[in-house]
Amino acid sequence: MAAVITVRAPFAFMRRLVSLRLHKRCCSKVQSAYLVYRPHSYSLIAGQQQRFFRTSCVAARPVMPFKLSDIGEGIMEVTVKEWYVKEGDKVSQFDSICEVQSDKASVTITSRYDGIIRKLYYDVDSIALVGTALVDIETDAGQVEGPQEDVVETPAVSHEEHTHQEIKGLKTQATPAVRRLAMENTIKLSEVVGTGKDGRILKEDILNFIARQTGAILPPSPFQEICPPPPAPVAPSTPAAKPREKTTPPSVPTPVIPKPVFTGKDRTEPIKGFQKAMVRTMSAALKIPHFGYKDEVDLSQLVRLRSELKGLSESRGVKLSYMPFFIKAASLSLLHFPILNSSLDENCTNITYKAAHNIGLAMDTNQGLLVPNVKNVQMLSVFELAVELNRLQTLGSSGQLGTVDLTGGTFTLSNIGSIGGTYAKPVILPPEVAIGALGKIQVLPRFNHKDEVVKAHIMNVSWSADHRIIDGATMCRFSNMWRSYLENPATMVLDLK
């Protein structure tokens, strides 16, 4: 039977004793003694090769700071508009974390990790600086592979309305074959709208993008096919049916105007978001010497043409306004006067003539003045312009316009007439060199070619041009050509592509 010796001593002393005995056992290969812990005592037992002390540790899950990455365009700060998570929520990769708003666009930040939210660094409407942490996420150790950039995405209403931004940190989903196809054709995946599951970019998306850039015609994609709605069922007639009484159409509800509240106190608030961008852009526009030119356009034939095409367009699910005709006429005129689709460098030493007609549309939204633009108008039909304008207006009204839609414009039209007014003095948006403001369409008396007074649909237009590189005669000739296309819309057919 093994001898047992009970020793009372401090634990530190006994630990050193065991260390010496273990060291001696390793060197001389003799039997060693070890300790058995008992409350308030320690027992030294000799002659047994067992171990009663065990230690174990649990690896702590790392907490990663999720930083706001550089979203491009020189943006250094954003405003946190909405949090989609709270502390303790479990998130997966690509889950939405929050929505931030810069002075150019609203952006949805998505997670790069699977984990649990441990801390939110900012409140709603707080200013977040680029490079600072937005949230802390507790992740698995295997997910930490070194510093990476956070994922930044634009909000998506649906697969058809999904948009991407050409910004640093954008993560796109595509197979290696698709990425290779894009690389061979010098295409940025951030500029391509994916129609696959969860916005994945397919081979057909790349081919369709190439077709839009080059003007090639490809078979329609099943994702983009527009089917007319089925005809409404006709109710069977009965012999005793009475003639339907004439009913008045339902009246349009009058918009409710909120009652103003008088507080009696001055209020000071910081300039931020889109208003801050307007301050910077308009301050730069003051350096441009503006040349103004105004004219009126008889839209009587265009009004009749639109009334004939409106029903067909609506049967395809697209609202047809006058703006697609205005924009297309501007693009056809820019082909003859390319200097109006150019830009001037800061030193006023070089003029860059833009190949693409990215025509912007000034839009009044709840967030302020926004100017999204339709890309490559020279490649689009009037119906395709109507589809794109419907998309931009939907995104603008919901505050979901992305950076790609709001940047890269080369020429701008402002439809101030949709609100009211006939004439305006539009301000050029640098680095563009020209802009037009469209007044409301009025029914006014005019003389026809027989000197008869007739009813005419008249719209006034106001142009502004950069007088450093555009003279008055060029602006006048451009306006005359643009007006001729609209007053005789059939002539546009000859130049349409």
Cis omega (within 30 of 0) for bond into 431 = yes
373-380 LR contacts (CB < 8 Å, sep 24+) = 373/405, 373/406, 373/408, 373/409, 373/410, 373/412, 374/327, 375/408, 376/212, 376/213, 377/327, 377/328, 377/330, 377/331, 378/331, 378/334, 378/335, 378/497, 379/212, 379/213, 379/215, 379/497, 380/328
Structure tokens at 185: 């054709």
Widest CA span in the chain: 134
3-class DSSP state of 493: helix
467 in catalytic set: yes
- Are 388 and 323 within 8 A, CB to CB? no
- Catalytic site residue from 125, 198, 345, 471: 471
Q: List Cβ neighbours of 404 (8 Å cut-off, separation of 6 or more).
A: 154, 163, 164, 165, 166, 190, 191
- Are 8 and 46 within 8 A, CB to CB? no
CA 221 to chain centre: 23
Q: How far apart are CA 77 and CA 55, in angstroms?
A: 49
Q: HSE (CB half, 13 Å, CA atoms) of 470?
A: 30
357 in catalytic set: no
DSSP state of 161: T
3-class DSSP state of 32: coil
Q: How far apart are CA 362 and CA 368, in angstroms?
A: 10
Structure tokens at 15: 């630990």
- Catalytic site residue from 159, 290, 467, 495: 467
Q: How far apart are CA 110 and CA 149, in angstroms?
A: 11
Q: List Cβ neighbours of 128 (8 Å cut-off, separation of 6 or more).
A: 68, 77, 78, 79, 80, 100, 121, 122, 134
What is the separation, in whole angstroms, between the first and last Cα of the chain?
105
Question: Annotated active-site positions, please?
Answer: 467, 471
